Structure 1
Amino acid sequence: MALWGLGSVTGLYAQKPVSGRPNIIVVVTDDHRWDALGVAGNPIVKTPHLDSLANRGINFRNAYVTTSICAVSRASILTGQYLSRHGINNFVKNFSPQAFSQTYPMLLKAAGYTTAFIGKFGVGNSPPAEYFDYWMSTEPEGNDRQPPYVTLDANGKEIHDTDTIGRAIRKFLGQYGTSGPFCLSVSFKAPHELDGDPPTYVVQDRYKHRYREEVMPAPRTASNKYVERLPPFLRSEANIGRKRWEGLLGTPALFQENVKNYYRLITGVDEVIGSMVATLRQLGIADQTAIVFLGDNGMLLGEHGLEGKWYGYEESIRIPLLIDYAGLPSDLRGSKPEIMALNIDVAPTILALAGLDPPGTLQGHNLLGVLEGVVPDRDDFFYQHYFMGSPKIPQVEGVVSRRFKYMNFMEHGYEELFDINRDPRETTNLIDRRKYRHELDALRERLVELKKAAR
């Protein structure tokens, strides 16, 4: 059995030259909640190619983000660090050259990998194109760098962003796929809605009628009974989550159409994943290529009367996380571990796949080492979200453990405590229950400890 330790280069490829190390493809989707995959038990959304990745590789069933917003989470994925350390706390702040040199693509480049980026970079307003060997961004120039969903291709024909990314993947693999180890980072805009007032979901024409006959089940916590339990600052229409709910999900017809659109965009991504894997096989490099797939954060689709992310509810902070690689130990292939995995674990895990030591600044764990018992597992983690603040996006921080979730909306002195084992939909706030006073006090103390450690 291979050892994937974090403290020294003990990975399967540690003693091999660069030419013997795996290619690595990292695929990130935008606002992709954990249960929006067929393999996650979703009976509606069709994701056969992603399901195949999960069934061949490792499907982390309890994967979370440490901050549920695109730019911050993407920075955490690249750096293996909490927001408190990497400092990317908005959409325009850029990495310093020194900080970017410690991201997984640049560490792999320094180790001899060809590095490429395709899609929505999503961090800062000055993308680091010059640091990559291959760069194809779908972002426009300027401070508003959200990619449009529809652009014109080289022939002047309209093309969807997901298909643009698919073409770019095939082009890169055709040029570089057999030239030595590469690290390709792919970042989709899908299934993120197109920002506007109200936002809209822009779907590929060929998928516009997919799921037409399906009925999307309404979340239990979308009813007025649960919405009325929210504190006034979350129920307020000044809260972006409520405003987006009204524009996208606020009537039964809107809910049906836009949840279907969300699934349609995910199925579009799945098609590109299938094409990418087919290309790897055609080139004869599928077995030499590790694929890491994850969402940058989750998405509330009406739960608690909200649409969006930001807050600490399960639908917002849980993500899909898959690793498929023929070189994995046989006992890990096809596994569904229950360990608590985080977005900050992606960078150290990628470095372990390449046989590289992580810098001491990384805060995440090598997940392969955790699974093989050479890296300690975690029992809880620190959640933080500070962007914007009240009234639009109230700030929140807290602790998620294996059983309990404690969240503190600091601006309002409002706290939540949920038993996520017994109450996974987070319907009952236990904060005032005397029975749970011991757990509450312990979590408050743990928050102070974890917040300090995250700096």
Structure 2
Amino acid sequence: MKHLLLLAIFYFCSCHLSGAQQSVQKKPNIIIIVSDDHAYQAISAYGQGLMQTPAIDRIAKEGVRFNKGYVTNSICGPSRAVLLTGKYSNKNGYKDNETSSFDARQNSFAKELRKGGYQTAWIGKYHLGHELQGFDHWQVLPEQGDYYNPDFLMMDGSRKRMEGYVSTITEDLAESWLDQRDKTKPFCLVIGHKATHRVWLPDTQDFGRFDNQTFPIPASFYDTYAGRKAAQLQEMSIDKDMKMGYDLKMFANYDSVREGAVARMNDAQKAKFRAYYEPIKKDLDKRQLTGKALAEWKFQRYMRDYLSTAASLDRNIGRTLTYLDKNQLQDNTIVIYLSDQGFYLGEHGWFDKRWMYEESFRTPMVMRYPGVVKPGTVSNNFVLNLDIAPTVLQAAGLPVPPDMQGESMLPLLTGTKAKGRDALYYHYYENGEHAVSPQFGVRTQRYKLIRFYKRANDWELYDLQKDPREMRNLYGQKGYEKITADLKKQLRGLIDKYEDDDARQLMAEKTAGI
């Protein structure tokens, strides 16, 4: 009898524990994949036609594609700080890559998830220093990281060099952690990819992938920047500022390449690198191109390297989705993909980011949330990277801290009559690389008003309906006085809402033209 009683107690406890574990596992797992400098123009789900991205497209097809996803500050470190904290740069303290440092002691969605019973990890590019808080596990690239044989910073303070290509290694490490995690807990994993950051160095298996394609020259490629002082000052032109060696791998002597990206390669990798790029350089030398012909050659070369680098990114995102399928995790795992900002693929003649103009300000963003978000959803609501933190916390059934400034995207996607934003606020602070002026502004459905300062002290106004490429600055022109006044009023309201004291002070200055 005593034996039967013990058996019954054991059975009851086992069932109770199993039920508790199942209850915990009802909370969705979360995977956030963040790439670097990946343009929405390079994603086939957005209908651009430059290349096929089947993995990212799959997330969109099985969930939602955000057509109006934007960032608050178009530069890599600050963008990740916004993602983590759910706060604008002026509140999280990481305004730029040159003078800021990230205070890891502040709150983040990872810390809130961890308190709520989640197991958390960040693997890959982090770019917010060497101290991570709120994560049970992390393995991150130092600073920007390297494409070939990269170093990873380990939790014990050591630095470990790993052989191979960075996108593949990052995915390998992510899957290794998923294999070893505590399977009784829901998890949140951030996978930070280095691709497609400059210098756009593809995996050896992707060399030449797009060599048979000729890409269309963007309509604004030969923009003269008339009426736009800040654009005239920039140093991010494919024609004038893209470097033949560093960016395009066109070296005088392939026996002694000392560029860091190439120097890290092993002998086999270097041999493939040389076999691919050296004949291209020899052909270029024979052609003796100058002027527009050289500028357009540089554009084609840039596009081929950039998109080949993006191919590895998409392939490894596909591996993440396959892992979820094979491990029966797909039905209870949210997958969010976004870039840290948009990127120029020749528009206005540029590469890089930073601007409030659409190609930089707008970011790709897709999300799969089985059972909650209807497959094939297309959202035209304004959303921000600021909104990721409150979104995942709401999905996890956890309270959103009142000081988070983002708004959960779920009400916009679940059939409710939630009203989205009618305007977006942006502030870019950096005053260094590429000579881009610091700027802040407001974007509505039709108009965009930008205030530049420091390098250029100027305003710009665009009618996005009539001028989607943002080529004609309407600020100060007759007939736009009321529109300008209304936008400035709206801008002041957003500055007050997000408590941006720097912008508030600049708006008060007489030079602001108020």
Q: TM-score normalised to the size of structure 1?
A: 0.87
Mark the CA change 1:258 to 1:428 in structure 2 (over 3 Å): closer, same or farther.
same
- What residue in structure 2 maps to residue 370 of structure 1? 412
Amino acid paired to 1:370: L
Mark the CA change 1:18 to 1:259 in structure 2 (over 3 Å): closer, same or farther.
same
Q: Is the radius of gyration larger for structure 1 or structure 2?
A: 2
Following superposition, the deviation at residue 445 of structure 1 comes to 1.8
Instruction: Determine if the alignment matches structure 1 residue 336 to structure 2 residue 383.
Output: no
- 1:193-342 to structure 2, matched below 5 A, reads 193=198, 200-223=199-222, 226-229=223-226, 231-236=228-233, 239-242=234-237, 245-247=241-243, 251-329=295-373, 332-342=374-384
Partner Cα distance (1:71, 1:127) in 2: 14
Match of 1:346 among 388, 394, 410: 388
Give the stretch that moved more between structures: 52-61 or 262-271: 262-271
Partner Cα distance (2:386, 2:126) in 1: 17
Checking the alignment, whether the CA contact within 8 Å between 1:382 and 1:400 is kept in structure 2 is: yes
Amino acid paired to 1:60: F
Mark the CA change 1:122 to 1:153 in structure 2 (over 3 Å): closer, same or farther.
closer
Structure 1 portions without partners, runs of 5+? 1-15, 140-144, 194-199
- What residue in structure 1 maps to residue 475 of structure 2? 431
Local SS of the residue matching 2:121:
strand
Instruction: Determine if the alignment matches structure 1 residue 396 to structure 2 residue 439.
Output: yes
Mark the CA change 1:297 to 1:152 in structure 2 (over 3 Å): closer, same or farther.
closer
Local SS of the residue matching 2:164:
strand
- What residue in structure 2 maps to residue 188 of structure 1? 193
Partner Cα distance (1:156, 1:122) in 2: 18
Local SS of the residue matching 2:200:
coil
Following superposition, the deviation at residue 421 of structure 1 comes to 2.2
- What residue in structure 2 maps to residue 416 of structure 1? 460
Local SS of the residue matching 2:440:
strand
Instruction: Determine if the alignment matches structure 1 residue 386 to structure 2 residue 429.
Output: yes
Q: List per-residue Cα deviations over 1:293-338 (Å, max 9, x = no partner).
A: 1111011222223321111111001111111121214xx3211010
Instruction: Determine if the alignment matches structure 1 residue 126 to structure 2 residue 170.
Output: no
Local SS of the residue matching 1:44:
coil
Partner Cα distance (2:92, 2:161) in 1: 40
Checking the alignment, whether the CA contact within 8 Å between 1:44 and 1:214 is kept in structure 2 is: no
Amino acid paired to 1:350: V
Mark the CA change 1:387 to 1:280 in structure 2 (over 3 Å): closer, same or farther.
same
Checking the alignment, whether the CA contact within 8 Å between 1:72 and 1:89 is kept in structure 2 is: yes
Give aligned pairs, total: 419
- What residue in structure 2 maps to residue 6 of structure 1? none
Local SS of the residue matching 1:319:
coil
- What residue in structure 1 maps to residue 397 of structure 2? 355
Partner Cα distance (2:433, 2:183) in 1: 51
Higher RCO, Cα 8 Å, sep 6+:
1
Partner Cα distance (1:334, 1:305) in 2: 34
Mark the CA change 1:344 to 1:157 in structure 2 (over 3 Å): closer, same or farther.
closer
- What residue in structure 2 maps to residue 12 of structure 1? none
Quote the RMSD (CA, aligned, Å).
2.3
Q: List per-residue Cα deviations over 1:241-297 (Å, max 9, x = no partner).
A: 248744359721211011121111221111111111111111111111110111110
Partner Cα distance (1:177, 1:245) in 2: 49
Amino acid paired to 2:421: R
Amino acid paired to 2:477: R
Checking the alignment, whether the CA contact within 8 Å between 2:124 and 2:193 is kept in structure 1 is: yes
Q: List per-residue Cα deviations over 1:138-175 (Å, max 9, x = no partner).
A: 22xxxxx1101111699988411111111112211211
Amino acid paired to 1:401: T
Checking the alignment, whether the CA contact within 8 Å between 2:75 and 2:96 is kept in structure 1 is: no
Checking the alignment, whether the CA contact within 8 Å between 2:110 and 2:134 is kept in structure 1 is: no
Following superposition, the deviation at residue 108 of structure 1 comes to 0.4
Local SS of the residue matching 1:308:
coil
Following superposition, the deviation at residue 449 of structure 1 comes to 1.6
Amino acid paired to 2:391: T
Give the stretch that moved more between structures: 299-308 or 334-343: 299-308
Partner Cα distance (1:78, 1:254) in 2: 36
Following superposition, the deviation at residue 185 of structure 1 comes to 0.5
Mark the CA change 1:152 to 1:219 in structure 2 (over 3 Å): closer, same or farther.
closer
Following superposition, the deviation at residue 95 of structure 1 comes to 3.7
